[in-house]
Amino acid sequence: MLVFYKERLVFLSVPKTGTTAYQTALRDRADIVISDPPELKHAPVYRYNRFFRPMFDKVCHAEMETLAVMREPISWLGSWYRYRRRPFMAGKPNSTHDISFDDFVNAYAKGEPPAFARVGSQAKFLEPRPNGTRVTHLFRYEDPDRLRRFLEERLGMAIDTARENVSPQMPLELSASTEAKLRRKCAEEFALYDSIR
């Protein structure tokens, strides 16, 4: 999470959406940088609303806007799958070493997924709160130029990012039936992604 107080902007870090690269590029420009622990670095809207928003509201009397990035849902799952397939993950409960991508996605779409497919939900991370707290500016991971232009204009600076925390590349195959199941069971993920202008 990055906070730009003067600009009244909080950059929420949705996992597996390239936010670590922005954190590296902008950490010297940000007023607050939360890079650890992961539970705070990747604080979803509900955690931001509960712990961080009241601080800005009550202490600083400042209304902050929020920014986040969302990745196309199948691509997002592919990134998690590859990330959990790194060599040192072998033998761990959340490893995807001996599991196909198709099986991983099938497991993810279950009501209670096993450890290897328990990666959360972008829609849940970004879910608006009953008090109106929500993501003000939502960008697609697949459209980095739009995000960069927004940040450069808002922060008044040129931004140069390098790829970081990249999952290993590998071909991923998903059957039509598994994709249909995912789209049916996780419709809110696709609806939210499709709503981003």
Structural tokens at position 147: 């995000």
Q: Is the pLDDT of residue 6 over 90?
A: yes
pTM for this model (two decimals) = 0.93
Cβ count near 67 (within 10 Å): 22
pLDDT tens-place string over residues 87-142: 888 989 899 999 999 999 999 998 899 999 999 999 999 999 999 999 999 999 99
The class (CATH top level) of 2-195 is alpha beta
Structural tokens at position 96: 């995807």
For the chain, what percent of residues have pLDDT higher than 70? 97
pLDDT at 164: 66
Nearest Cα residue to 186 out of 73, 45, 70: 73
For 57, residues 6+ apart whose C-beta sits below 8 A from its C-beta are: 63
Q: Is the pLDDT of residue 163 over 80?
A: no
Structural tokens at position 146: 């739009």
